[in-house]
A and B are shown apart, each in its own frame.
Chain A
Amino acid sequence: MSMNTSHDPLVLYGETFHSRLLLGTSRYPSPAVLEAAVKLAKPAMLTASLRRQGAVPHEAGNQFWEMLKALKVPVLPNTAGCHSVQEVITTAQMAREVFETPWIKLELIGDDYTLQPDTLNLVEAADKLIKDGFKVLPYTTEDLVLCQRLVDVGCQAVMPWAAPIGTGKGPVNPYAMRMLRERLAVPMIVDAGLGKPSHACSVMEWGYDGVLLNTAVALAQDPVAMAGAFASATQAGRDAWRSGAMSEQDAAQPSTPVLGTPFWHHA
């Protein structure tokens, strides 16, 4: 991994993280594969959720909970599946008690088919959570004004989607995402819709501060290797952004010196 990592930590709400990859914990072929993927990728945070006890039979006995504790990676609980501000608040409060953390990934769904965030109520939910002492990472669309409003109510980072959750399409609106990066100064993590390490690398090259993904790793044929690939690509993109890419040219320019070329113009 890059030598830059330790000098260039991700800072969210004053806390320092030595990785720019946040990893979801769902849909892996087995808990052992998830564990191996986490150990290889060394993510900054792991997302988790809450469901009715007994509703998810294969997780009975709470093997997942024991693994989370043993991995010692900070947990980012989500409010996945919430459709109202009240549901979000209650879920976040339950998550804070269970996971013993003030971090919350705010998910307020407005449309079940696309899992698009409820853009009209997201700011109110964020505002209430911030006032209740949460460190809120809101999952949002790439809408500039919405992201600005989230910052206005106290979000110290925002998480725009690249594409709908689980689609793996990569950034569907690169122009808007690049413009958003240019206009907002807070840390921004691209959350959802990434399918390949090159997608993660691209958004990091545009200046995004991190990526959060799940399905792209969990549904890969070799999730452990893919987790490593995403970790490398994320760091590569970050290093590239810090290095300042050359500007694109239309005309070819030889990279090898022309002076002293043998047989030069003999023909």
Chain B
Amino acid sequence: MKVTINKREHELPTGATVADAVAAIEARPPFAAAVNTQFVPKAQYPRHVLKDGDRVEIISPVTGG
């Protein structure tokens, strides 16, 4: 299935979770994640199963005003 992670399309196996999405882009801590603009707490990564077409955002701290 196709899942968009940080605006880029990735091919993930059916049943893949947020934990797999994090691994697919080799995300470096610290980061947080959202799926389809809903926050997903870290503890739920291995349980949150993704669907075809899901949009995953993995974000990290940057400078800000």
Q: Interface on A for B, CB 8 Å cutoff?
A: 24-28, 34, 47-56, 59, 62, 64-65, 68, 77-78, 80, 86-87, 89-91, 93-95, 97-99, 165-166, 192, 214-215
Asked if A49 and B42 make an inter-chain contact with CB atoms under 8 angstroms apart, the answer reads no
Report, nearest first, the 5 A-B pairs whose CB atoms are least far apart: A49-B64, A24-B65, A214-B65, A94-B32, A93-B39
**Within the complex, what minimum Cβ distance (angstroms) separates B16 from chain A?**
18
> A86-B37, A98-B30 are contacts. A52–B64 as well, Cβ < 8 Å?
no
In the complex, are the beta carbons of A47 and B6 less than 8 A apart?
A: no
A-B contact count (CB 8 A): 100
Q: Does B32 lie within 8 Å of A47, measured CB to CB?
A: no
Within the complex, what minimum Cβ distance (angstroms) separates B53 from chain A? Answer: 18
Q: How far is the CA of A229 from the CA of B1 in the complex (A)?
A: 56
Within 8 Å of chain A (Cβ to Cβ): is B19? no
Besides A52-B58, A90-B38, A94-B33, 17 more A-B contacts (Cβ < 8 Å) are A25-B65, A49-B62, A49-B63, A52-B6, A52-B60, A54-B6, A56-B62, A62-B61, A64-B61, A64-B62, A64-B63, A65-B61, A80-B64, A94-B39, A97-B41, A98-B32, A165-B65
Q: Assuming the A-B contacts A52-B6, A54-B6, A97-B32, are A47 and B64 also in contact, with contact meaning beta carbons closer than 8 angstroms in the complex? A: yes
**Residue from the list B27, B28, B41, B61 in contact with A68, Cβ < 8 A:** B61
State the Cβ distance, B39 to closest chain A Cβ, in Å.
4
Query: With contacts A59-B63, A215-B65 known, is A52 near B39, CB below 8 A?
Result: no
Residue among A27, A49, A89, A215 making CB contact with B61, cutoff 8 Å: A49
By beta carbon, the residue of chain A nearest B42 is: A97
The answer to whether B39 touches A51 (Cβ under 8 A) is: no
10 contacts between A and B (CB under 8 A): A47-B65, A54-B6, A55-B6, A62-B30, A62-B60, A80-B65, A87-B37, A90-B37, A91-B59, A98-B30
